[in-house]
Structure 1
Amino acid sequence: MPDLRTAGLALAAESARYAGLGWMRGTSGNLSVTLTRDPLRLAVTASGLDKGELTAADVVEVDGSGAALPGQPLAPSAEAGLHARIAAVAGAGAVVHLHMLAPVVAAERWPDGIELSDLEMLKGFGRAAHDDLVRVPVVANSQDMQVLGDAFEAGYDPATPALVVARHGVYVWGADLRQARWRAECLEWLLRFKTATPEG
């Protein structure tokens, strides 16, 4: 697993990529990488910074509850607690929280979960292109990460590496940042298709 400096370099590069796609506008969104499992430690992008301009130093090491370890000059994202919960429950090596429009629109139309099937791009999301009904869970937004974490865990399906937070954004995870990115890109395409087709 990476050290904090290596994680910071990778998180800065990924943040710039997502900002360029319009998925981390301004200071919105946050990314994390798991540093250690026992005890659980994550590197999380710092709060309040332009995600297109992060450096390797703009990350914070947090514990298994999402709280910053002592002595660090920056504050972690307010959503670090949910990153930690996903890492613990799903075993994720990286979590990306993005503000794509398609997942938020899809959650408005299907607040009980977004169903996808028979689309080739599902393979890039880690599922089968045919004969595989994928349901992406949707949870109500909250500023309390314990509440969001409980909602995530209640609907968690190990086969579906994503969670949509209504009127907020999407969390996608993977073994590392690259896999999380691939899954996020494919999910964005899938949900754009879902919301653009008349039958949904």
Structure 2
Amino acid sequence: MATAPAAHGDDSGRDDASGSSGSSGSDDDDSGLEPGAELAEEAARYARLGWMRATSGNLSVVVGTDPVRILVTAADVVELDGAGVPTGRTPTGLAATPSASAGGSRTGDRPRQPSAEAILHARLIGLTGAAAVVHLHTVASVLAADRFPDGLTLRDHEMLKALGRAAEGDPVRLPVVTNSQDMAVLAERVSAAWEPATPAALIARHGMYVWGADLLAVRHRAEAVEWLCEWAVRTAEQTVSWPR
């Protein structure tokens, strides 16, 4: 297992260590938007960062718990049940989805189809208790998975607080999972590699999955994971002798 080198500092507080709940502590965690509109807004934000290029990536949010109901992005926003199967219901806030805001048609009489990764979103929500999941195709996460195929362990970083972990003395392992085009297989692999105290996983030659209590918390965690992956790869390229 590869372990990233340490960096020190203590200028901010620690977030909740739970991988499935807790927030970043920001005052702007209540968007006031309907779930469908909030998903569309977050997807647009990630697209502007270049993290959802070529229609890659997808986001989901829980909108009901008894039974479980999940909205997930696709060409439109699609509602799923807890097994990742479309419910056929019209999601709330649908008028603000990317296709609608662009003035394009949605899906006519055809059933809306969820993202191919919908089954993995549903699995992560059931496994972790998260209320939101984001899947992104970022360069640093893919490079890190290549460089650290057995998993990336980081410690003594201020940025780890964004994952709900301590900035000192708290090794944090980001698991790396072999990719598969069969989403059921990939879901099993991610479940097997799940680190309960780490709200993220890297998929080799694919991207990252990050989860949390709401889309804002997940956004901050995704930003932290990308930063940490980029830092680890750049440091490894410098052939620094890492503390073990």
Structures share a fold, TM > 0.5? yes
| Other-structure match for 1:150 | 188
| Other-structure match for 1:68 | 86
Tell me, in whole angstroms, the C-alpha distance in 2 between the residues paired with 1:194 and 1:184: 15
Within the candidate set 55, 67, 79, 1:27 is matched to 55
| Other-structure match for 1:45 | 73
Tell me, in whole angstroms, the C-alpha distance in 2 between the residues paired with 1:10 and 1:125: 22
CA offsets 1:8-46 (integer angstroms, 9 cap, x no match): 100000001000000011211000001122322100001
Name the Cα RMSD after superposition: 1.4
**Distance change in 2, residues 1:38/1:71 (3 Å):** closer
Code of the residue aligned with 2:232 in structure 1: it is K
| Other-structure match for 1:125 | 163
Within the candidate set 217, 221, 227, 1:183 is matched to 221
Question: Alpha-carbon deviation of 1:71?
Answer: 6.4
CA contact (8 A) 1:40 1:88 kept: no
| Other-structure match for 1:77 | 115
Question: Alpha-carbon deviation of 1:167?
Answer: 0.2
Code of the residue aligned with 2:163 in structure 1: it is F
Greater C-alpha radius of gyration: 2
- The total of aligned residue pairs comes to 186
Structure 1 length as normaliser, TM-score? Answer: 0.89
Code of the residue aligned with 1:192 in structure 2: it is E
Question: Alpha-carbon deviation of 1:66?
Answer: 1.2
- Gap regions ≥5 residues in structure 1: 50-57
CA offsets 1:74-93 (integer angstroms, 9 cap, x no match): 21000000000000000011
- Gap regions ≥5 residues in structure 2: 1-32, 91-110
| Other-structure match for 1:88 | 126
Tell me, in whole angstroms, the C-alpha distance in 1 between the residues paired with 2:80 and 2:182: 17
Within the candidate set 38, 41, 45, 1:17 is matched to 45
Tell me, in whole angstroms, the C-alpha distance in 1 between the residues paired with 2:174 and 2:186: 15
| Other-structure match for 2:206 | 168
Structure 2 length as normaliser, TM-score? Answer: 0.73
- Larger RCO of the pair (alpha carbons < 8 Å, separation 6+): 2
Which runs of 4 or more aligned residues in structure 1 lie more than 2 Å from their structure 2 counterparts after TM superposition? Answer: 70-73
CA offsets 1:121-178 (integer angstroms, 9 cap, x no match): 1111211111011110111111222211111111212210001110001000010000
Question: Alpha-carbon deviation of 1:70?
Answer: 3.2
Tell me, in whole angstroms, the C-alpha distance in 1 between the residues paired with 2:55 and 2:172: 31
- Give the share of equivalent positions with the same residue, in percent: 58
